[in-house]
Structure 1
Amino acid sequence: MAGHPPDQVWQIIGSPELYPRFVPAISWCEVTEAAARGRGPRCLIRLAPDRETLVEGTIHAVVYRPNEHVVWCGLPDERNWVSFELHAIEGGRTEIVLRLMLPSLPPERRDFFSRSAVKGLLKELTRRIDQQLAGEAADPPPQDRATALRTANVLVRAGVIAAGRPDKVIRQLNSLSQWGATVAGGYLAATARGADEIAVHDERNTRTFREIDERSNRLANALAKLGVQAGQRVALMCRNHAAMIEAFVGCSKLGTDVILLNTGLSPSAVEDVLADHRPAAVLADDEFARTISDVRGDFPRVSTWDDAEQGYRTVDELIHDTPSNRPKPSERPGQIVVLTSGTTGAPKGARRPTPKGLGTAATILARIPLRARDKIAVAAPMFHSWGLAAMQVGMALRAELSLIRRFDAEQTLRMIAEHRCDALFAVPIMLQRIQDLPERVRSRYDLSSLRIVASSGSAMSGTFVTTFMDTFGDILYNFYGSTEVSWASIADPADLRAAPTTAGRCPPGTRIAVLDEDRKLVPPGDEGQIFVGNDMLFDGYTNGSSVPRAQDLMATGDIGYTDAGGRLFITGRADEMIVSGGENVFPRPVEEALVALPGVSDAAVVGVPDDEYGQRLAAYVVLREGARMHAEDVQHYIHQKLARFAVPRDVFFVTELPRNATGKILKRLLNDDMWPVSPQT
């Protein structure tokens, strides 16, 4: 290798946790025992040479001479071994000698280690190492293009485009032509194909597509009588229920923008958001009536879920005597404004663009195999981008949505069993609560209809991903995106089995790039800021600001890398980087290691000021019931897994972590002196 002496090459050859970043066939390598004096490391390794093959095993280094030689043997059968030798040659270069002996390899796997395959592996390995050490840009991940033919094939396979009665097909196409791919257009197209099919049910009501059409017409006309006009804003503060969907559709028909208020916002935050956005009306569940009543303004207030004696006029009362004639499409389609999560600061309103036809739904359907008329349980809040996506994809599929107003793990399983749901849209903390149910409780419910569990909103630990699929089957899909970029990648069950912490691969028509501070592609294996390009990048914040762009791509705010197989991994938030003693540390790898520790159910890591190091790591750990642990146990465990500078100096045991309504950890509250902690248990 030109210009790279053995000690530089050893930085990669001697670091098995980096192998997936340089060898496409290696999807996962986790160091379970670090190298120590007189012995090499021990690792869990997964080989995924193609989408259908996954081989998992344990290896250990029986020879481990830094800068010179490493020999990996399989356990418990040490007859299989792979050897890397590094020889210094003239000109400061390194020769890599690869030897392997695989006598006990099953015949069906020997093709993966044929002479030609091994030559190809070594060639790719040396090329990527050379690029890395030379600081040369990595090749961009391959882009899966979204051609018109491919989009059509996806929509046909999902049943979105299907043969039917000519009059219904014509009405469906006319609806999309008149209204576009708005919420109104999607539900009107679904009504044209199946007016009397069930569209949605909640704990009180069941609505057909015809009923949603008629009631949303009346609601749009009622709002117009109250003075709400196209181009103005209507705020919704609702949990998941049918009236929220009727409000979505009615506002879309009227041409108003919809501001989605997070139900977990404090009264002062609600007041700030409404003051910034100046809505023409506010529709809210009665439980938030007092919060809304305290906000100054003469806008009308309407109840979307009646459960208080002193609530506002309800949607039913508002539309009772209002005509059901359908408004004409507005010249300017109304937009949906989603608030950012506010985990590190005040939430901002992000304007979501109107989807560009059915191709937007096809992007998701290409990786998550939902089908027309599927029954979808929606636990993710619809004020959140993921719950909103469930509704928007669901309307394209004419799906039957089972809306979960207040999440309860066992009640969710009961609903899935009773309605024979095909899919569940949830955020990770909900899936964790389901997994935490005793097996005797989970076994009460027949979940055999469930083909898809689609999760988004925050990171899932590799330990949890594997445990969940071992329990419920290979039905888990991990969607990575943000309010600003919509989607970036989707991991299907094959991806998650191969590499449990991956964010997956780009769906058709999407590009990602991992860029350095100069907005250039990073070398292979390096981490950098993640930028995304697709057809649904947001239109900017309502306060006029936006996010960084580069090469027609938009920043997600996350740091990550792509492995040699093209999978994306997220290692942390750009604004969460901790500089401790001159070393850059991101909390997520430390958190990932912590939740894999037996006895730990949840963990968060933050940076706190330190006079000596500038910053130090503080870990907040939630133990499982009955578990006992000391801070020194945690620190020793992390020291065995990660670098010295990644070991938390402070370990606090807490009963729970502060989370917002979508389950994201509010790390800014962990530095609050009011949060109850104890230094050890």
Structure 2
Amino acid sequence: MPDAAALPPHPAPEAVSMMDYTDPSRFNLAEHVLRAGAATPDKVALAVLSLTGATRWSYARLIASVRGLAGWLLDEGLQSGDRLLLRLGNTPDYPLCYLGAMAAGLVPVATSPLLTGPEITRMAAQVSPQAVIAGEGIACPDGLRRLTPPPTPETLPPADWHYGPAGREAYIVFTSGTSGTPLAVRHAHRAILGRQPMHDGWEGLRQEDRLLHSGAFNWTYTMGTGLMDPWTVGATALIAAPDIAPEQLALVLRRHDATIFASVPAIFRRLLRGPLPALPRLRHALCAGEALPPALRSDWQVKTGTDIHEALGMSEVSTFLSGSPARPAPTGSCGFPQPGRRIAVLDDAGQPVAPGETGHLAIATDDPGLMLSYEGSAAPSGAWFTTGDLVATDAAGAFHYQGRADEMMNAGGIRVSPREVEIALAGLPGITELAVAEIEPPGATPGSGTRIIACFYAGEAVSDRTANDFAAARLARYKCPRAWIPLSSLGLTELPRGPTGKVLRRRLVALCMETGFHSPPSRKAST
């Protein structure tokens, strides 16, 4: 069993900033995450919840398992710096192997278990892993050495923490570029320091909290917000078992005294469709992965008496803009820069724009949470790393998300944010959800350049006249949709979304093309 005395002393919070606690010779991400818990070995670190009970892991068992897995991986012949592909399902094996690999100085490569054999083979070829640790029935690349996680890692001989420069490679995640090709994102051990501003600047996280995340173990949002952040402060992480339906999460929140709930808009939306029990222990909720509609936040506030705090981020940096219990985001905004972050809004020439003007969101390249690089590419250079998001700031300094640069619509030569239009149309009577995208109208010659804004919606049928009048009262004429398309006409009951809950606008456009509409030609958002 790990002994708290065996761990190096944790610096006092007031003596540490996210920028300077990077001992170049003695740092390990996994050890940093588990250090606070080592001081309370009997406290529950993780509970996997079902409607009938919970499976619990103390901090002592968690730390012993991580160090046991580290020793096992080294005994299997892997060496410091080797890359280890993770192909694990929605079980505790995933975070244990993830942290165990880093504890040993290995580099875990996180991937979705839903990927097919050809997909994971192409992705693995980018990063050249030395082995794969895999669960039963999950596709793996051909020809790669396969390991199966041991059933009781807490009983294995523990490895010592592998210390080294905080800037060395720690883990790899994949993100899709604008072309849809997965990109391998390399992060350093120091990335965990880049999460410190989230504890107060978004999560309002305390040692006594019990944070329930609705996602699967093998999702990066769950891994960061649902597990590593609570463990870093010595709190308790709660994860819903796979057999818990989204509509049952409210009952789980109440039964297991969750104080913070982290999820995505689609889950909040499903919870609000039914009756909610009283949640006396819940202090607030967290949202990321997709823009939070103001109406959804308002409905949650009314029904639960608690707020939802949204964060904006990306795989290359994690979150950096957010509302928080100490500073809630103004309605319609995504909040403020987290404490210690340096954020800019830049024009196409890389110069700051005035408040109220839309520009490219950028984060300082010296942020410890920023990636080392994309695999095979140079490290981010210059003062700023642009995220691909478009934002504007208001007089209070809050940031308003305008969408991805590659999703901006061009109405009559003027750029229009899908997010702005969707917020304005959110109260359209009878509509349960909607999204806008640019399409070529029926009858237009494909590739002619003729484009209109279309609104795709679920819910009750709405007449064009009613919808047009509603839009005209809230939006400039050039921002108003010219087509109103019920999802049912495309064979859908709800908006298509990716694994993180983001609306797949390109899928909507493709379905229009299949049913008689035409998709717009490829173009850069700045045109």
TM-score for both structures, normalised by structure 1: 0.65
Question: For the structure 1 residues 542 and 631, does the alpha-carbon distance in structure 2 shift closer, same or farther, using more than 3 Å as the test?
Answer: farther
On the 8 A contact 2:28/2:161 being kept in 1, the answer is no
Partner of 2:457: 621
Cα-to-partner distance string for 1:592-639 (whole Å, 9 max, x where unaligned): 23332122222222222465654322322121xxx2223443333223
**Partner Cα distance (1:358, 1:528) in 2:** 28
Q: Secondary structure at the match of 1:572?
A: strand
**Partner Cα distance (1:357, 1:273) in 2:** 25
RMSD (CA atoms): 3.0
Residue 503 (structure 2) pairs with residue 668 (structure 1) = no
Partner of 1:399: 235
Partner of 2:74: 224
**Partner Cα distance (1:593, 1:264) in 2:** 36
- Number of paired residues? 484
On the 8 A contact 1:669/1:675 being kept in 2, the answer is no
Task: Tell me how far 1:495 sits from its aligned partner.
Answer: 5.8
Structure of higher CA gyration radius: 1
Partner of 1:350: 185
Partner of 2:496: 658
Return the match for 2:151 from 316, 331, 335.
316
Partner of 1:119: none
**Partner Cα distance (1:174, 1:493) in 2:** 26
Aligned counterparts, 1:1-400, within 5 A: 168=4, 171=7, 173=9, 180=27, 182-187=29-34, 189-203=35-49, 205-286=55-136, 289-292=137-140, 295-302=141-148, 314-316=149-151, 319=153, 323-331=156-164, 335-340=170-175, 345-355=180-190, 360-390=195-225, 391-400=227-236
On the 8 A contact 1:344/1:667 being kept in 2, the answer is no
Return the match for 2:302 from 457, 463, 470.
470
Task: Tell me how far 1:266 sits from its aligned partner.
Answer: 4.6
On the 8 A contact 1:600/1:621 being kept in 2, the answer is yes
Partner of 1:432: 269
Task: Tell me how far 1:276 sits from its aligned partner.
Answer: 1.7
On the 8 A contact 1:263/1:661 being kept in 2, the answer is no
Return the match for 2:285 from 453, 465, 469.
453
Partner of 1:579: 410
**Partner Cα distance (1:232, 1:170) in 2:** 26
Partner of 1:417: 254
Question: For the structure 1 residues 298 and 511, does the alpha-carbon distance in structure 2 shift closer, same or farther, using more than 3 Å as the test?
Answer: closer
- In structure 2, give the amino acid aligned to 1:392: M
Return the match for 2:431 from 600, 604, 607.
600
Unaligned runs of 5+ in 1: 1-166, 303-313
Task: Tell me how far 1:360 sits from its aligned partner.
Answer: 4.2
Unaligned runs of 5+ in 2: 12-20, 488-492, 518-527
**Partner Cα distance (1:669, 1:519) in 2:** 32
**Partner Cα distance (2:62, 2:513) in 1:** 45
On the 8 A contact 1:338/1:384 being kept in 2, the answer is no
On the 8 A contact 2:169/2:188 being kept in 1, the answer is no
Cα-to-partner distance string for 1:40-81 (whole Å, 9 max, x where unaligned): xxxxxxxxxxxxxxxxxxxxxxxxxxxxxxxxxxxxxxxxxx
**Partner Cα distance (1:562, 1:481) in 2:** 16
Partner of 1:567: 398
Return the match for 1:637 from 470, 485, 493.
470
Question: For the structure 1 residues 240 and 650, does the alpha-carbon distance in structure 2 shift closer, same or farther, using more than 3 Å as the test?
Answer: same
Task: Tell me how far 1:678 sits from its aligned partner.
Answer: 9.9
Partner of 1:485: 317
Task: Tell me how far 1:640 sits from its aligned partner.
Answer: 2.5
Task: Tell me how far 1:404 sits from its aligned partner.
Answer: 2.4
On the 8 A contact 1:463/1:500 being kept in 2, the answer is no
Q: Secondary structure at the match of 1:241?
A: coil
**Partner Cα distance (1:179, 1:412) in 2:** 41
Task: Tell me how far 1:171 sits from its aligned partner.
Answer: 4.0
Q: Secondary structure at the match of 1:376?
A: strand
Return the match for 1:506 from 337, 349, 374.
337
**Partner Cα distance (1:336, 1:590) in 2:** 38
On the 8 A contact 2:438/2:453 being kept in 1, the answer is yes
**Partner Cα distance (2:333, 2:196) in 1:** 23
Question: For the structure 1 residues 496 and 461, does the alpha-carbon distance in structure 2 shift closer, same or farther, using more than 3 Å as the test?
Answer: farther
Cα-to-partner distance string for 1:321-359 (whole Å, 9 max, x where unaligned): x84132351546651222225686122121223237767
TM-score for both structures, normalised by structure 2: 0.83
On the 8 A contact 2:300/2:307 being kept in 1, the answer is no
- In structure 2, give the amino acid aligned to 1:664: K
**Partner Cα distance (2:414, 2:390) in 1:** 16
